[in-house]
Structure 1
Amino acid sequence: MDYCWFFGQIGFVLFGLAIAAVLAVLIYMYLTTVSRPDLHRYDEEKFYLDPSTKKRIPFCSVFDSPSLDLSIVVPAYNESERLPAMLDEALEYLEMKYGADNSYEVIIVDDGSRDSTSETALRYAMKYGCKKVKVLTLIKNRGKGGAIRRGVLSSSGRSILFADGDGATTFEDYNKLDSVMNTCLTEGDKEVVVCGSRAHLEQEAIAERSMFRTFLMKGFHLCVWLLCVKGVKDTQCGFKLLSRPAAQRLFTSLHVERWAFDVELLYIAQSLGMRIEEVAVRWQEIEGSKLVPFWSWLQMGRDLLFIRLRYTLGLWKLSKSKGD
């Protein structure tokens, strides 16, 4: 038997299969790529409810001049049970820091929930007033990134924080992010992203996780570094503070609306030369996560590859001009 010929044929077949796989991926990308981000909002999503008068009040736009010091955007999908603890902690802190000047707002974005998330949030709007607590109920589920985008685009603050509705991050640590933001702005930077980070907790987390979950986490971090974002240790922490000019550009450029949206957000920020800082925050695991370890990581890995390929191939484009 001619082994050289045999293995040569196997190699030829494998090479052909690899070419076919690459072509299939490229064809899939071309067929599924939408060149412009989805900024569409239904008419109902342009208003929030005043629960005391039952009147609908139009949201502001992130492109209007800021009228508040801080906007907090809280994405919430089926969070009627976990949301109250987060809001109690956040609003107690916000009332102490900003309440006297009425210079904050919390926008809770109900991402098409099937439970009583909106009703739970409206109780806080009734308690604190709808100028401080606003509920944006999306007509359909958009994904975490899509929910945050629509909340950010409706914000009035000079700075905009998005924070997960499970309350995993100690809200008081906003002080740390705000301090870094003020330093950056004082130094002349206008477009700034300050990321809360759990990187300092990694060794403790590894000790508590299974080997399989640790392998998935390490693999994801490697893919993020290789394909998209370098220099940020924790891209996925749901506690990020943005200057208003940064939010305007980032959330009108963002395409990915589900779990990997943070990575594209930071990829865009780095590509546009924005200043990115990372600040350690306190964080704890909260039961009830919507993240399914294997399938969610697999989806995010696919999204990372497509983010890089779509920008590299020019299917998605970034405007380098602030005026565009």
Structure 2
Amino acid sequence: MAQEAWSDICVQCVELLVNVPVSVLLVTFAATLTGFLVLVYVTLYAVAPVPRKPYPEEKQYRTLTKDGAITEPQALPCWQDALDAKRRPGRTLENPSVEEPELFLSLVVPAYNEEDRLGGMLEEAVNYLERMYGTVTGAIPNGVDADAAQKALRQRKSANGHANGSATSHPVHDNKGWEIIIVSDGSKDKTEETAFTFARDHQLSLHPKGYSGPWTPGTKEGVHIPPGTIRVVTLTENRGKGGAVTHGMRHVRGQYVVFADADGASKFEDLGKLVAACQGVEDSLGRGVAVGSRAHMVGSEAVVKRSKLRNFLMHSFHLILWLLTPSKTATIKDTQCGFKLFTRASLPYIIPYMHSEGWIFDVEMLMLAEFAGIPVAEVPVGWREVMGSKLNVVRDSVGMAWGLAVLRAAWLLGIYQRT
């Protein structure tokens, strides 16, 4: 009986639909579809991340004086603030440009509770940066007292008319001058103290302590660095890796800007490959991006030894990337390697429009580069697994997939705009 009753109801429904005018059905369908799209848009608008504005104290930095004392907080230079002052509401600034660089290379290091791993990473970084882009003089003459010896060690050939780490308005010459901006992302441990201890020892000591890192397990004597080269920026609240990187990149002074993870997993010696590749693809406006890639390591022992779940999630994420990202970004084999280099001229087309502050921020950077027509080079780099990762494989993989879907839809539907 119940089946017959339901059959009668279905027959009546069909008869009613047949008798409804086609125009009414089309209007009903259009209204339903419109309502669904509006619901999707409103929902997406509600869940799409909006980065918070930095607090006033987050736009300051601390460094060391010549005698090794920690300075009072000082105002960070900010090229984006200068651009924003020129920008009109609702309009894209045509051919945005920033002030001339003060030095050749800036390194941004996002750090959240990294007291155990930061020293080794900094050791490998400053060894390379000072050797390639520094201007330290040679050996100490015999018979010179300690103060004079330290002064001699720190004496530097003029780079752009200034000692490394000092400000100037002149263009960069001879590929000299570097800085490190450590962005402490709401750290609760001794990350900042570790950074200052490292800087003080390498600035003042005749024989700086060498920290062992992922690529230099044997400790060697460290190199000398000048005052002010390492700057520490403190974020009051944790923003996520993407938020810390973006914040640091707003305040760089270099002609080239690279960010690297605090664990030192990427081989810092490969930075030269990124610089060369970036210089090779730069367009007429001086814009270019070089991304470190671990794609060549697929099938290597380091990857094979990972759990099957982790490898499955890695391949699944790559498939989602290929499906959801724009054409050129989809061709990049490794979007998540934490070792990427940008020319200064490319920053105004990317950094002001960033929204993602979590793990997926790399993809948004590459998408924005593609939207602006900035050439991107992918460069194989060395990489090693480092203990102490804060990545939860399952939870963060799901979060990255969701974040990527929201990100792509927000840009596609106009919730995010480059204005």
Shared fold by TM > 0.5?
A: yes
Query: Match for 1:108 among 182, 190, 203?
Result: 182
Query: Match for 2:61 among 41, 48, 57?
Result: 48
The amino acid across from 2:414 in the alignment is: G
What is the aligned residue count?
303
Normalising by structure 1, report the TM-score: 0.87
Instruction: Assess if the C-alpha contact under 8 Å between 2:292 and 2:338 holds in 1.
Output: yes
Cα distance change of structure 1 residues 56 and 162 upon mapping to structure 2, 3 Å threshold: same
Query: Match for 1:211 among 269, 287, 308?
Result: 308
Query: Match for 2:335 among 235, 247, 251?
Result: 235
Instruction: Assess if the C-alpha contact under 8 Å between 2:48 and 2:407 holds in 1.
Output: no
Q: Is 1:220 paired with 2:312?
A: no
The amino acid across from 1:92 in the alignment is: N
2:133 corresponds to: 98
Offset of 1:59 from its aligned partner?
A: 1.6
Q: Is 1:295 paired with 2:395?
A: yes
Q: Percent identical across equivalent pairs?
A: 39
1:15 corresponds to: none
Instruction: Assess if the C-alpha contact under 8 Å between 1:124 and 1:133 holds in 2.
Output: no
Cα distance change of structure 1 residues 227 and 33 upon mapping to structure 2, 3 Å threshold: same
Offset of 1:189 from its aligned partner?
A: 5.3
CA distance in 1, matches of 2:337, 2:193: 27
Instruction: Assess if the C-alpha contact under 8 Å between 1:125 and 1:134 holds in 2.
Output: no
1:14 corresponds to: none
Runs of 4+ in 1 over 4 A off after TM superposition: 19-26
Comparing both structures, which one devotes a greater share of its residues to strand? 1
Instruction: Assess if the C-alpha contact under 8 Å between 1:68 and 1:104 holds in 2.
Output: yes
* Superimposed CA distance per residue, residues 126-163 of structure 1 (whole angstroms, 9 cap, x where no aligned partner): 33344211001111101001000111001000000000
Q: Is 1:315 paired with 2:415?
A: yes
Query: Match for 2:378 among 269, 273, 278?
Result: 278
2:267 corresponds to: 170
1:12 corresponds to: none
1:28 corresponds to: 43
Q: Which runs of 5+ in 1 are unaligned?
A: 9-18, 320-324
CA distance in 2, matches of 1:28, 1:39: 20
Offset of 1:26 from its aligned partner?
A: 4.3
CA distance in 1, matches of 2:129, 2:392: 32
CA distance in 1, matches of 2:291, 2:306: 24
Query: Match for 1:245 among 328, 345, 361?
Result: 345
CA distance in 2, matches of 1:115, 1:24: 44
Offset of 1:43 from its aligned partner?
A: 1.7
Normalising by structure 2, report the TM-score: 0.68
Mark the structure with the bigger radius of gyration.
Answer: 2
Q: Which runs of 5+ in 2 are unaligned?
A: 11-32, 80-97, 136-158, 165-176, 204-224
Instruction: Assess if the C-alpha contact under 8 Å between 1:78 and 1:113 holds in 2.
Output: yes
Q: Considering only aligned residues, what root-mean-square deviation do their CA atoms show, in Å?
A: 2.3
The amino acid across from 2:77 in the alignment is: C
